[in-house]
Structure 1
Amino acid sequence: MTAARITSVDALRGFSLLGILVVNIAFLASGYRMAGMAEPAFVSPLDWAVRWTVTLLMENKFYLLFSFLFGYSFTLQVDSAVRRGKAFVPMFLRRLAGLFLLGLAHAVLLFPGDILTTYAAVGLALLLFRKISPRTAVMLAVVLTSLLALGFVLLAVLAMVGLDKTGTVSHGVAEAVHSDAALRGSGFQIIGEHLRKLSLIVVLRVLFQGPAVLAACLIGLAVGKLGVLRDLPAHTATLRRLQWVGFTIGLGGAFVYTLSAWHGSVNKFLGEAVDLVTAPLLAAAYAATFLRLLPYLPRIGRALAAPGRMALSNYLGQSLICSLIFTGYGLALVDRVSPPLEVLIAVAVFVAQVFLSHWWLRSHRYGPVEWLLRALTYWSRPGRGAHQRTGRA
């Protein structure tokens, strides 16, 4: 049962990785998408159908699911430290430092939309909140989410009265053209562009993404403390309720967000406010559905568990592969690939990672980046053998 429980969590993490890649590849492939606009070269009905489908079903959902798993894994790491009789705080601080350095390198070299640095900052908050009750964790997550939604409503009001002068179409086009030219250039130009984008979005990260990630992590912390994932059959009724609520309210909110995503700053801000409240419900419905179906689809579970075990390596690998495809590091196809082809590339990359992860884990206990992070966390050389695993934090 322990092995099955670990596999289910790893499989859910692998499933999240696929969703994250399908969303991120659009931003890796286009300066226009990073500027909040649709690529003008791709305006066919199929192009728009793919954009709308990804926005409706995937955008802002899977990073929340991955953040939930980060919070859940935090409880496993605490329990593991207690079992081993080791001081948890110093180990976790070293882990966060490693995450921050990896995320910083990732953001500068490959993708300024990196989330690892956010996890490193949020991890400090989890340390402070690690002893709170599950009920308090959920209440704090609700408060954070509500405040964020109110913040976007305020931005919409400012835009309505004309106090927000950012995000105009002309500014967005100029930003996209500048970004495309830099991303097609040399390695120095690409890094310079990434640094410039980081300077533009740092406030967004601190004020909006960080609290949203923390809220999802707090839900994961509560679930870990309650032990829900340790005995899923005992919580079937709860999972079923999550599906009903998530697929009704969550999809409704996602539809509002999708309608607003391409229609000016006022509508976009209001859509973001709605999505902040409803996207967690849809993400929870995805997780509940996946976990309920997993016992009937053991092959899919085993297939997804391998990339889930190597989630950090695969996340960074996805950005590396996409950079080689879309930037001057490789083929320089930025803004030359249509949305449908982007999705096909994302699926192909993930399928390749599934096979590569299974191959790697036949002879290694951890993924390459996981090995490095674990060495820093425990300040010792991790075991290499694939068959030495008795459990994981």
Structure 2
Amino acid sequence: MKHPETSETSETSGTSERIGRIGSIGPGRPVSAAEPAAVMPRPHRIVEVDALRGFALCGIFLANVLVMAGIEGRGGDGPSASGLDQAAHWLVMMLVQTKFYLLFSFLFGYSTTLQMDSAERDGAPFAPRMLRRLLGLFVLGALHAVLLYPGDILTTYAVLGLVLFAARTVDPARMWRAALRVYGAVAALYLLLGAAVALVDTGGGDEGLSASTAELTAAYRGGPADVVRANMDAWTDILAGLLMMGGMVVAAFLAGFVAGRRRLLTGTGTPDRVARLRRICGWGLAVGLPGGVLMAAGTVGPLGARWEIPMFIVGMLTAPALSGAYACGLLLWFTTPRGARLAARLAPAGRMALTNYLVQSLVMALVFTGYGAALYGRVGAAAVLGGALLFYGCQLLFSARLMERHRLGPVERLLRTVTLWGRPTPRA
């Protein structure tokens, strides 16, 4: 998730210059050269980073809503699912699942370098700020997991962020090699696990799965106490998932930190950067799309249950390639006039991504659990995903309005207060 630190950097790129009013001293009001230096605004945010974060917010929502609706990981679409539901679920598994949390993790690492720069500009030590920030994320994440959505990512970032904190002084070249080694070790373990599962006959487990799904459905359709109890019971599975995905998150943290130190997300319109982005995008699609197809075929169909975990692992290992293709493709698009307009629409949601992420979970809980309509397991994937996209569009509009008037989202302001251990300064 993004961190609500002050403006992320004073660097701007071609895209940032075209939409430089985002993060300026006021909506639509340029800085006058006649204004005294004492009231100059904080440095411009990097619009591309905010826009990528806003884009990742959509992918995270699409992946999470299938879980909250009782579709993903709770027994699948079921025999009553329509062809449209199956197709929608299949596309999300192919293009979305496991791709966007890696993009968020990369941006978390990138933003950490910007927060270090912010602390240096303020003449403040970075370590206390970072540790308070991680503590704040952990508390928010724990409350989020218990009350709203057990698949919370904030606690994971808070715990694994300590690795990034410890490695913050490492040379970027060494850190990049460390990221590759972490990914290599995780890949080797995953491949061994996938091979072992593929060799084991998984038949006969459907009855246990059906009973577990029925219990979970009853809990999420029950009262608030039942929902909280089900969320807490799910923590053992969440911890197992953390162990499984933790290495990938750390690798993405480190890669993002290296990119931040080298400012790889700015100046993307220069010829050498354009050529590099095109290469990464091409290779990412060539590797990531087949992996996504195998993941969808194993988890949604037509492959059998024996191949579900092995194909999911293949999809996880190729997910960084597709995540990179998404990021590079968008960065290339942002250098065009039409792409700059898209970035301007995505960036406000990215600036308050933490607030938007938690609001998404609140709305999902009200719709699908006993907190509200209790539609858990009652709505098909196509309708669920269509509703999620509609709500995300509303978030884009609301975020744009709010960011015209405020520098921080409400939860970002709270976390920033904890990070700086004081009240954030008002918008200039």
TM-score grouping bracket, smaller chain normalisation: over 0.9
User: What do residues 77-102 of structure 1 show as CA deviations (whole Å, max 9, x unaligned)?
Assistant: 11111121111001110000000000
Aligned partner of 2:400: which letter? H
Aligned partners of 2:203, 2:159: CA distance in 1, in Å?
28
**1:69 positional shift:** 0.4
Task: Choose which of 49, 61, 76 in structure 2 pairs with 1:21.
Answer: 61
The structure whose residues are more often helix, as a share, is 1
Task: Choose which of 358, 374, 390 in structure 2 pairs with 1:348.
Answer: 390
Aligned partner of 1:383: which letter? T
Larger gyration radius, structure 1 or structure 2: 2
Task: Choose which of 420, 423, 427 in structure 2 pairs with 1:378.
Answer: 420
User: What do residues 285-333 of structure 1 show as CA deviations (whole Å, max 9, x unaligned)?
Assistant: 1001111111322322111111100000000000001111111111111
**1:171 positional shift:** 2.1
What is the SS of the residue equivalent to 2:265? helix
Q: In structure 2, do the counterparts of structure 1 residues 360 and 64 end up closer, same or farther at CA, with 3 Å as the change threshold? A: same
| Displaced runs of 4 or more, over 6 A | 164-167
Aligned partners of 2:180, 2:209: CA distance in 1, in Å?
33
Aligned partners of 1:368, 1:41: CA distance in 2, in Å?
43
Aligned partners of 1:210, 1:191: CA distance in 2, in Å?
25
Q: Which moved more, 1:128-137 or 1:105-114?
A: 128-137
Aligned partners of 2:204, 2:381: CA distance in 1, in Å?
23
Residues 1:117 and 2:155 aligned together: yes
Residues 1:227 and 2:227 aligned together: no
Provide the residue aligned with 2:73 in structure 1: 34
Percent identity (aligned): 40
What is the SS of the residue equivalent to 1:337? coil
Is the Cα contact below 8 Å between 2:287 and 2:321 reproduced in 1?
A: yes
Is the Cα contact below 8 Å between 1:149 and 1:272 reproduced in 2?
A: no
Provide the residue aligned with 1:300 in structure 2: 342
What is the SS of the residue equivalent to 1:228? coil
Provide the residue aligned with 1:176 in structure 2: 213
Q: Which runs of 5+ in 1 are unaligned?
A: 389-393
**1:6 positional shift:** 1.2
Residues 1:194 and 2:217 aligned together: no
**1:166 positional shift:** 10
**1:161 positional shift:** 5.0
Is the Cα contact below 8 Å between 2:287 and 2:318 reproduced in 1?
A: yes
Aligned partners of 1:181, 1:167: CA distance in 2, in Å?
23
Compute the TM-score of the two structures, normalised by the length of structure 2. 0.85
Is the Cα contact below 8 Å between 1:150 and 1:273 reproduced in 2?
A: no
What is the SS of the residue equivalent to 1:233? coil
Residues 1:289 and 2:332 aligned together: no
Is the Cα contact below 8 Å between 1:29 and 1:335 reproduced in 2?
A: yes
Aligned partner of 2:279: which letter? R
What is the SS of the residue equivalent to 1:382? coil
Is the Cα contact below 8 Å between 1:148 and 1:276 reproduced in 2?
A: no
Provide the residue aligned with 2:184 in structure 1: 146
Is the Cα contact below 8 Å between 2:65 and 2:364 reproduced in 1?
A: yes
Aligned partners of 1:200, 1:257: CA distance in 2, in Å?
20
Is the Cα contact below 8 Å between 2:198 and 2:310 reproduced in 1?
A: no
**1:142 positional shift:** 2.0
Aligned partners of 2:426, 2:222: CA distance in 1, in Å?
40
Aligned partners of 2:192, 2:99: CA distance in 1, in Å?
23
User: What do residues 122-146 of structure 1 show as CA deviations (whole Å, max 9, x unaligned)?
Assistant: 2100011112223222222222222
Aligned partners of 1:140, 1:258: CA distance in 2, in Å?
30
Aligned partners of 1:135, 1:379: CA distance in 2, in Å?
33
Residues 1:280 and 2:320 aligned together: yes
Is the Cα contact below 8 Å between 1:152 and 1:269 reproduced in 2?
A: no
What is the SS of the residue equivalent to 2:343? helix
Q: Which runs of 5+ in 2 are unaligned?
A: 1-10, 18-44
User: What do residues 48-85 of structure 1 show as CA deviations (whole Å, max 9, x unaligned)?
Assistant: 11111111111111111111100100110111111211
Compute the TM-score of the two structures, normalised by the length of structure 1. 0.92
Is the Cα contact below 8 Å between 2:268 and 2:274 reproduced in 1?
A: yes
Aligned partners of 1:48, 1:161: CA distance in 2, in Å?
27
**1:167 positional shift:** 9.6
Provide the residue aligned with 1:270 in structure 2: 310
**1:153 positional shift:** 2.5
What is the SS of the residue equivalent to 1:63? helix
Aligned partners of 1:102, 1:165: CA distance in 2, in Å?
38
Is the Cα contact below 8 Å between 1:76 and 1:224 reproduced in 2?
A: yes
Residues 1:208 and 2:208 aligned together: no
**1:160 positional shift:** 4.5
Residues 1:107 and 2:177 aligned together: no
Provide the residue aligned with 1:391 in structure 2: none
Task: Choose which of 108, 119, 132 in structure 1 pairs with 2:170.
Answer: 132
Aligned partner of 1:191: which letter? V
Is the Cα contact below 8 Å between 2:202 and 2:305 reproduced in 1?
A: no
Provide the residue aligned with 1:244 in structure 2: 282
Task: Choose which of 120, 133, 154 in structure 2 pairs with 1:82.
Answer: 120
Q: Which moved more, 1:151-160 or 1:323-332?
A: 151-160
Provide the residue aligned with 1:313 in structure 2: 355
Q: Which moved more, 1:136-145 or 1:188-197?
A: 136-145
Aligned partners of 2:185, 2:166: CA distance in 1, in Å?
20
